[in-house]
Chain A
Amino acid sequence: EAGVAQSPRYKIIEKRQSVAFWCNPISGHATLYWYQQILGQGPKLLIQFQNNGVVDDSQLPKDRFSAERLKGVDSTLKIQPAKLEDSAVYLCASSPPVLSISEAFFGQGTRLTVV
């Protein structure tokens, strides 16, 4: 079974530029998460999708961050404009259909450096 795919693995941009990350979850997984992990901290949930609907985006800085999940499959996370404090690893995860609680499966992440 293929895992959660993320791209790019690394990205360096200047502040005020825009950037986008892509995530392809495990086939059939209904729930998709985006997390931000700042160096030395635990992952912080940015947004949670159930199929293509948003379940929770309370911690997403909506003035600069946006995310979508087209057709309930792939997802993109965008930052525009980026700030220095956005430097972090952005992790995508997915979990199986809603009828059962299960663990989330994580991609390897995208390391963003804003200079």
Chain B
Amino acid sequence: AQSVTQLDSQVPVFEEAPVELRCNYSSSVSVYLFWYVQYPNQGLQLLLKYLSGSTLVKGINGFEAEFNKSQTSFHLRKPSVHISDTAEYFCAVSDSSYKLIFGSGTRLLVRP
């Protein structure tokens, strides 16, 4: 069965500093990986996705993630964060069943 682990429940960081949000997945078949962002009182918005091909994926708002099959990871990075990046970030995994499973989320808190 698929599962997603986001070890960090909250990541505080200063504005303009780099950040990495960690995501590990568990699946026995080919996987498709996603990062979503959720702002307060909003639905989830896709940041980026890995379906196949290049393991380095670039998304919106300057975020990128790297698919590492040997480490079963899909960590999200941004070289310089802004106050507006403060939000909840969710990693998700899917496979050929189209079942989409989410992690517990990481709250990114950007301080001035």
Contacts and interface: CB of A to CB of B under 8 A. Distances in A.
Contact of B44 (A50, A55, A98, A106): A106
A36 to B, nearest CB: 11
A93 B44 CA distance: 9
B49 A42 contact: no
Interface of B: 4, 6, 32, 34, 36, 41-46, 49, 51, 90, 94, 96-105
Interface of A: 4, 31, 33, 35, 40-45, 48, 50, 55-56, 91, 93, 95, 98, 101, 103-109, 111
In terms of DSSP, what is the predominant structure of the interface of chain A? Answer: strand
Given A33-B100, A41-B104, A42-B102, A101 B32 contact: yes
A92 to B, nearest CB: 9
A15 B22 CA distance: 38
A42 B6 CA distance: 10
B98 A50 contact: yes
